[in-house]
């Protein structure tokens, strides 16, 4: 079955056609990065306007690349949560119109669950459930247990900033470039990760055993970096700041992740989200002989339509359908960790 996947939750206008949840027939990602770069961050108003301008051509291109017409599509899957509301609404409205015009099922998909599914696209074997999920993007840092493609229990998350956001903010402060994650990753290859010893958050005990925090590291790397220099008389290279920041950012994630692996007894980890492209994270996880870590190919780490179509297929064969009245939501309650005694 051929599913059209539409993704407009942030700054990528994306559409793809995927057959039977695995075979990617086309995957078009029109990035808005050049339009947001002057502002060093995503401007929601620009994002939704660009999606409105581009969505028709992006979907048309996805069909053309797959050598298909609208009549060959069996269902439309679309991100409706979480994300920027104005951006989500563009893809969702387009998907509704497509599904209504063709009288085919509409399937509203959770963006973060789709990121977790991304590693199963293309030739990759599907890992057996349950496994641990590491979902790391510009808006989320989630360590979870996955019991099925849409049955996810959040074990830990960030108590302040998301990991990708920290990469972006540090890069913005130093004018390294935008978006910051890929730039810092590249710069770090030429830097000394031991030049600065940035602090780790004190979160490894009790209810925060699987949680992460990035505001302390971000503040240290931006405002107090002199304080954490290892050799005070050495010349400061931007690459050293990038490498030392990246090392600590990844170690923070790994500490919480390894706690979760040890406590749960789960030794398969599936990663997803833009930060899953990080080469240092991949290298560090590859060192662990006792853990199998599955990463999506780089083109499926960032936002894309293929992961939406892929997970959409599993909803489709289970009989899930979304009504044409389905709404978009900026946040998802299910992705908040509940702490004992909290009122969330």
Q: For the CB of residue 73, give the shortest distance to ligand KG4 in the complex, in Å.
A: 25
Q: Which is nearer to ligand KG4, 161 or 211 (CB)?
A: 161
Dihedral (CA of 39, 41, 42, 43) sign: negative
Partner residues linked to 151 by β-bridges? 148
Tell me if 310 contacts ligand KG4 by CB under 6 A: no
Nearest to residue 20, comparing CAs of 314, 308, 299? 314
Tell me if 164 contacts ligand KG4 by CB under 6 A: yes
Q: For the CB of residue 112, give the shortest distance to ligand KG4 in the complex, in Å.
A: 8
Tell me if 32 contacts Zn ion by CB under 5 A: no
Q: Six-digit token pair at 119?
A: 């590693």
Instruction: Tell me the CA distances in angstroms from 88 to 39, 105, 162, 331, one per residue in order.
Output: 21, 19, 20, 11
Q: Which residue has the tokens 């030739």?
A: 123
**For 149-215, where are the E strands, in sequence order?**
151-157
> How far apart, in whole angstroms, are the C-alpha atoms of residue 132 and residue 261?
7
| Interactions with ligand KG4, residue window 122-161 (CB under 6 A) | 137-139
> How far apart, in whole angstroms, are the C-alpha atoms of residue 59 and residue 29?
10
DSSP 251-319: HHHHHHHHHHHHHH---EEEEESGGGG-HHHHHHHHT-TT-EEE---GGGTSS-SHHHHHHHHHHHHHT
In the list 149, 167, 176, 198, the residue contacting ligand KG4 (rule: CB under 6 A) is 167
> How far apart, in whole angstroms, are the C-alpha atoms of residue 294 and residue 135?
12
Tell me if 179 contacts ligand KG4 by CB under 6 A: yes
Tell me if 80 contacts ligand KG4 by CB under 6 A: no
Q: For the CB of residue 40, give the shortest distance to ligand KG4 in the complex, in Å.
A: 11
Tell me if 114 contacts ligand KG4 by CB under 6 A: no
Quick check: bond before 214 cis, omega within 30? no
Q: For the CB of residue 293, give the shortest distance to ligand KG4 in the complex, in Å.
A: 16
Contact map string, positions 34 to 73, toward ligand KG4, x by CB under 6 A: ----------------------------------------
In the list 8, 26, 32, 137, the residue contacting Zn ion (rule: CB under 5 A) is 137
> How far apart, in whole angstroms, are the C-alpha atoms of residue 325 and residue 92?
10
> How far apart, in whole angstroms, are the C-alpha atoms of residue 60 and residue 65?
9
Pick one of Zn ion, ligand KG4, none as the site partner of residue 180 (Cβ within 5 to 8 A by kind).
ligand KG4
Q: Which is nearer to ligand KG4, 152 or 182 (CB)?
A: 182
Q: Which is nearer to ligand KG4, 68 or 330 (CB)?
A: 330
In the list 303, 306, 312, 322, the residue contacting Zn ion (rule: CB under 5 A) is 303
In the list 3, 106, 275, 309, the residue contacting ligand KG4 (rule: CB under 6 A) is 275
Tell me if 91 contacts ligand KG4 by CB under 6 A: no
Tell me if 191 contacts ligand KG4 by CB under 6 A: no
For binding to ligand KG4 (CB under 6 A), which residues are involved?
10, 137-139, 164, 167-168, 179-182, 185, 273-275, 277-278, 302-303
For binding to Zn ion (CB under 5 A), which residues are involved?
137, 303
């Amino acid at each position: 079955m051929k599913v059209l996947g539409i993704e407009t939750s942030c700054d990528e206008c994306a559409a793809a056609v995927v057959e039977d949840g695995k075979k990617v027939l086309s995957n078009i990602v029109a990035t808005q990065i050049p339009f947001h770069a002057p502002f060093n961050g995503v401007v929601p108003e620009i994002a939704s306007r660009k999606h409105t301008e581009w969505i028709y051509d992006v979907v048309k291109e996805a069909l053309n690349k797959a050598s298909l017409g609208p009549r060959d599509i069996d269902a439309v899957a679309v991100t409706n949560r979480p994300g920027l509301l104005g951006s989500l609404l563009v893809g969702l409205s387009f998907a509704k119109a497509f599904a209504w015009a063709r009288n085919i099922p509409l399937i509203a998909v959770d963006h973060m669950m789709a990121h977790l599914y991304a590693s199963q696209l293309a030739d990759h074997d599907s890992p057996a459930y349950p496994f641990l999920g590491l979902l790391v993007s510009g808006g989320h840092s989630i360590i979870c247990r996955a019991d099925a493609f849409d049955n996810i229990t959040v074990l830990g998350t960030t108590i302040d900033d998301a990991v990708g956001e920290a990469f972006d903010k540090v890069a913005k402060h130093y004018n390294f470039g935008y978006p910051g994650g890929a730039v810092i990753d590249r710069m770090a290859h030429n830097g000394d990760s031991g030049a600065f010893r940035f602090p780790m958050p004190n979160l490894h005990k009790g209810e925060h055993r699987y949680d992460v925090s990035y505001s302390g590291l971000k503040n240290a790397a931006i405002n107090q970096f002199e304080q954490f220099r290892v050799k005070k008389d050495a010349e400061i290279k931007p690459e050293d700041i990038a490498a030392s920041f990246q090392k600590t950012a990844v170690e923070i994630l790994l500490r919480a992740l390894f706690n979760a692996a040890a406590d749960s007894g789960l030794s398969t980890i599936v990663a997803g989200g833009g930060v899953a492209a990080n080469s240092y994270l991949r290298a560090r996880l590859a060192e662990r002989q006792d853990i199998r870590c599955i990463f999506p190919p780089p083109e499926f780490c960032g936002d894309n339509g293929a992961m939406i179509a892929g997970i959409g297929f599993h909803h489709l064969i289970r009989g899930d359908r979304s009504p044409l009245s389905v709404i978009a939501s900026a946040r998802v309650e299910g992705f908040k960790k509940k702490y004992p005694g909290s009122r969330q």
